[in-house]
Homo-oligomer: A and B are copies of this chain.
Amino acid sequence: MTMQITSTAPQAPVAPSRGRLRPLGQNEVRITGGFWGDRQSVNAAGTLRHIGARLESEGWLPNFDLAVVGGLPERRRGREFSDSEVYKYLEALAWEIGRTDDAALEQRFREVVARVAAAQEADGYLNTRFGHPGQGSRWSDLEWGHELYCLGHLFQAAVARERTRPGADDGLLGIAVRAADLVCIEFGAQGRDAICGHAEVEVGLAELARVTGEPRYLEQARLFVERHGQGTLRDIEWGRRYFQDDVAVRDAGALRGHAVRANYLASGATDVAIDTGDDELLASLRRQWDRTTARRTYVTGGQGSHHQDEAFGEDWELPADRAYSETCAGVGSIMFSWRLLLAGGDARHADLIERTLYNVVATSPAPDGRAFFYANTLHQRVPGVPADPEATSPRASSSLRAPWFEVSCCPPNVARTLASLDAYIATADDEGVQLHQYAPARVRTALPDGRVIAFDVETDYPVSGRIRVISRTDAAPGAEWTLTLRVPAWGDGARVRVVPADGGAAEERDAAPGAVEVRRAFRPGDVVELDLPMAPRLTAPDERIDAVRGCLAIERGPEVFALESVDLAVAGVDDVAQVALAPGAAPVDRDGRVWIDVVRHSGSDAGWPYGERVDERGGAASVAVPLVRYHEWAERGPSTMRVWIPAAT
């Protein structure tokens, strides 16, 4: 593995024009193993191949071929947004090629791009669902047509490619530029005063502007952001908040409506605020993130409480058993949080990214990377039915992971996130490097003044809480730089230790939640050790979260745990509904698992279930049961599961 040391545009999904922190790209940070390295390997070997095959067999890639031969609309297959899955797949391939330089993937990438290119109209229009003879006309269904949404994903794919293989001759950037030029004509200040019913084009245009230097694209992104809340979309049963077309972005108090749309829009709006210097908008987005995190986010980091409209609930409306917590909303939340982290350097944004990575993004795919959760419930009441490995599932009704969905946004969204994950590990500022996520990694970069920074990270986190950073650079005398290590909000009691390579005395001190800095003229072999407290802990919800009142969750490090019925034989029951936490129960680590004491419910099984208050659990014997990491649940067959466990009173 070789990496070029550079301080130019990073090989990363997000490259803001300004901000507190500069992202380090794939060319500067490389995950070398561990929890996330393993998942990246599965992503490459399992998920990307699986998606590639499904895009063919479902007809979503062949739709582009049909556009060329005039086979639309009769033979077209898939929903109106199926083009976007091809683009997300291309984006994932671009990141994976950037990461591993895999020749087979490069060949596949070029083949897919060629098929997409062939379907583009002379004026830049590109969509297999509209605009062909016998189809609805272009831009005729902005509420549900997803044309601009699809192009947003096309733009992100082109950005990924240009950042990882600048100047490549595959043609993807040209496709994107032609489409973006058309969008600017059709939807510019002199064009349609309209937006897309699913935000995404904003974030795609903003990054395309950064890659190409074309200010029209940024301006177009700005126009789309500003037009939200003007009510240009038709009203629908769930209200215009579904599309975020109810209130202007800068006037909103929290994310609301469809949770993926909301996060994509917030991400694009942040890009616009950064690149146009709109600090009022940026401050509003920060406040919206604060309230959304405080009142509309599950303990897993998941977002979206409604199945019906895949939407955020109201403040405190966070039902565990009807949690939608769509995988793609988790991906969108990471996009939004990452942009705010780069802008302001607030560790809380990195905390939520970590929580969401471990408990949403890592939960979705099966161990083989070929089946996925679309929704991520926190409470499974009845055992799921195993999915047919050959079939396509409705989007969210599977209670076990399914290989594909009619609305199959989640698999390629997970794939592009994992393939680009190296670029979410660390950032730099003028004085050093900040580590936000902990994984075995190799980091090589240079500060603007030329100071070279090189270190490796060794850790088995989150198995243990020890992270070792080993310096690999011999700094010039006096060339100090600052290594900043995030200490998660749960990390009270963390300690940091500096062990000089020259055998000098180690220094150790407390590292309070937030971040700890080590400023030093690092020499090769100097080691900085961070010890995060990894004892399992009981977590209580805010008392206003009605749905989990009287319950506790168990966490350890960044991982949320769950009670799963397949572990309950030791308690003589087969359903999580039958037990509660024993009074005073505390979780313990034993034999690589976390255990907790439970007692059996003694409720009656018949009759009217409302009446005088009685304590039904007095004197019940307790028994220790093992918990499962939430991201590993449902891997042992059908089961019931709950993250929030009733506390016996």
Contacts and interface: CB of A to CB of B under 8 A. Distances in A.
Contacts of A320: 546
Given A381-B317, A541-B610, A610-B299, A546 B294 contact: no
Nearest to A290: B606
B294 A607 contact: yes
A314 interface: yes
A295 B609 contact: yes
Contact of A539 (B313, B577, B610): B610
Given A489-B608, A549-B550, A610-B299, A543 B293 contact: no
A613 B552 contact: yes
A544 B237 contact: no
With most chain B CB atoms within 10 A of its CB, the pick from A544, A545, A614 is A544
Given A319-B319, A322-B322, A397-B239, A294 B608 contact: yes
Contacts of A319: 319, 321-322, 547
A546 B237 contact: no
B609 A395 contact: no
Given A237-B394, A316-B577, A382-B314, A546 B546 contact: no
Given A308-B307, A543-B616, A314 B381 contact: yes
Given A294-B608, A381-B315, A544 B299 contact: no
A601 to B, nearest CB: 6
Interface in A582-609: 601, 603, 605-609
Interface string A32-49: 000000000000000000
A22 interface: no
A577 B313 CA distance: 15
A538 to B, nearest CB: 7
Nearest to A348: B608
A238 B348 CA distance: 38
A303 to B, nearest CB: 13
Contacts of A306: 307-308, 322
Q: For the complex of A and B, list the 10 residue pairs with the smallest distance between their C-beta atoms, beginning with the closest.
A: A237-B394, A540-B613, A542-B609, A550-B550, A308-B308, A314-B381, A549-B550, A307-B308, A299-B610, A539-B610
Given A539-B612, A549-B646, A552-B613, 16 more contacts: A236-B394, A237-B397, A297-B609, A308-B308, A317-B321, A319-B319, A319-B321, A489-B608, A540-B611, A542-B609, A543-B580, A543-B601, A543-B603, A543-B646, A544-B601, A545-B609
